[in-house]
Structure 1
Amino acid sequence: MSPPSTTAPPVPPKPPFQDLLELRDDTAKPLYQQLEDQLTQLIDDGTLPPGMTLPAERQLAERLKISRATVQRSYNALRERKLLSAQGRLGSIVQGTGPRLHSGMDRLKGFTEEMRDLGRVPSTRILEREVVTDRSIASIFGRPSHARFLKLVRVRSGDGKPMSREVAWYNLERAPDLAQADLSGSVYAMLATLGVPLVYCDQTIEAAEPTGEECAIFGFDRPLPCLLIKRRSFGEDGDMLEYVEGLFRGDTYTYKLSLRI
């Protein structure tokens, strides 16, 4: 007699989220508010996870057999609450209910310090580390074409969640010991230890689309908007020590800036 099978039964597929919506016309609550409340609940319980694309207004309206204006009003309310972000004709992206990271720009900080200030545990995974010569990078630093730089490609995470992929170059003429230093933590702290602390930087921020490799790092099923930060950092004597291009995920990361007259 053969032993009973221990194979678990297949898990039935989850129904489309639209089938979980139940809009009623026998209640005083308007349809747009019912839709907003039910979508909020599905976002809260994880049925609609961050990064998921919801249908465009017209498509959802046709599926639910309601007016497009009703869906539009609900979507707009969810965007105002930062639960959705608009993606034009593609629909809307779920942002989730978790707190976004609001990073200050009032002083020069490395990723490690920044994460700790935000109450996150920082960690780093080094993808590439090598000493290189690169004519284009040398030009950025204002150095001769044969100048040597430490190239460092890292994934930076907060609480285990990948937040950025950074490609950085460091001036080995000014910090030669950096080539052999332990860079699993803060490079800025290491530069200070080596006697060449960074004191100011020039930084630009622009919107960018992640590559396939970056989507895999961030866990995106499709390219989502990101922030590309380019920074040139200088020492006390005005010499450039670092050039870095960091792609930060846009679904959980924002920058805040205080301006005074």
Structure 2
Amino acid sequence: MSIARRVTIFPFEPFLPMPLQAPGPADPVLELLLSRLRLHDTVTTPYYIQLQRQIQALIDGGELRPGHGLPSERVLAQALNLSRTTIKRCYDALRDTQAVASSQGRGGTVVKAAPRVSPAMQRLKGFTEEMRELGLVPSTRVLARAVVQDRMVASIFGRPSNAEFLKLVRVRLADDAPMSREVAWYDLAVAPGLAEWDGKGSAYAHLREHCGIELAWADQSVEAVFSSPEEGEVFGFAQPGPCLLLKRRSHSAQDVLVEYVEGTFRGDAYVYRLKLRS
């Protein structure tokens, strides 16, 4: 006669606020993580997301600095008594937001910093040209693109309220690190060739090559702000961080306003230089 046994399967990992086993050799980063990470099984947020958010907060707060190597998936999983899959999903999520990167030389995962740039504000140039001058590879991610009518924007351009503008919301990247989130408007009455542009690459190059418009000068202001939730998501900030807001009105050689753009640049990456003469 056979005896049926009841087997209970637990779909979730047990909550253990502290590791059951001591880590091996002293590792300052591992010790920091073990002293800060706290997982909660009373909320519906998966463990890997809880870990991602807490590690991101340590990066944003400066406790985990660029170049710090994170423990391997195996080591952190053992130390926290979690599955290696959970740690892998956490690290993958951090890589997706550009917070960390794989280190080929060290064979591990390191905290990634945005390129530190110090462009000179001496002449009118676009993001693409500026990054290339600094030896970085520029790229663009288009978040939104639409032909719009906007009364407020029309007033900036001195156009009637039913004038049409190309509105672009883009993330500008350097060496694959997000550097700015910009919202730009272009007057389609002045540059109709932009109506079919996909928004990728340099707007200034497209204006020059496809619309015959060379931008000659601009009014630009710079002010300190904190990142919005949308900007924080782009930059991988767990909490509002310092940024620079640049507002630019770019004109053609005929003094016609062609572009109005508001770009938010991450404050941990930009230091602008000006040459002052007596």
Does TM-score exceed 0.5, indicating one fold? yes
**Letter paired with 1:255:** Y
Structure 1 residue runs without a partner (length 5+): 1-9, 20-47, 55-95
Specify whether residues 117 and 49 from structure 1 end up closer, same or farther in structure 2 by C-alpha distance, changes over 3 A only. farther
Counting only pairs closer than 5 Å after superposition, residues 1-261 of structure 1 correspond to structure 2 as: 14-16=30-32, 51-53=60-62, 100-193=116-209, 194-261=211-278
SS of the counterpart of 1:192?
helix
SS of the counterpart of 1:136?
helix
Following superposition, which runs of at least 4 residues in structure 1 exceed 4 angstroms of deviation? 10-13, 96-99
* 1:3-37 Cα shifts (integer Å, max 9, x gaps): xxxxxxx9959323798xxxxxxxxxxxxxxxxxx
Question: Percent same amino acid at aligned positions?
Answer: 55
Q: Give the TM-score, by structure 2 length.
A: 0.62
Q: 1-side partners of 2:245 and 2:197: how far apart?
A: 27
Specify whether residues 97 and 188 from structure 1 end up closer, same or farther in structure 2 by C-alpha distance, changes over 3 A only. closer
Matched residue pairs, number? Answer: 189
SS of the counterpart of 1:241?
strand
SS of the counterpart of 1:180?
coil
Specify whether residues 97 and 242 from structure 1 end up closer, same or farther in structure 2 by C-alpha distance, changes over 3 A only. closer
Residues 210 and 223, structure 1, Cα contact 8 Å, conserved in 2: yes
Q: 2-side partners of 1:216 and 1:244: how far apart?
A: 20
* 1:172-228 Cα shifts (integer Å, max 9, x gaps): 011011010243110100001110111100000000111112111101111110000
Residues 149 and 170, structure 1, Cα contact 8 Å, conserved in 2: yes
Q: Give the TM-score, by structure 1 length.
A: 0.65
Q: 2-side partners of 1:197 and 1:148: how far apart?
A: 21
Structure 2 residue runs without a partner (length 5+): 1-15, 24-29, 36-56, 64-111
Residues 183 and 190, structure 1, Cα contact 8 Å, conserved in 2: no
Instruction: Indicate the RMSD between aligned Cα atoms, in angstroms.
Output: 3.1
Cα drift, residue 99 of structure 1: 6.1
Q: 2-side partners of 1:197 and 1:150: how far apart?
A: 18
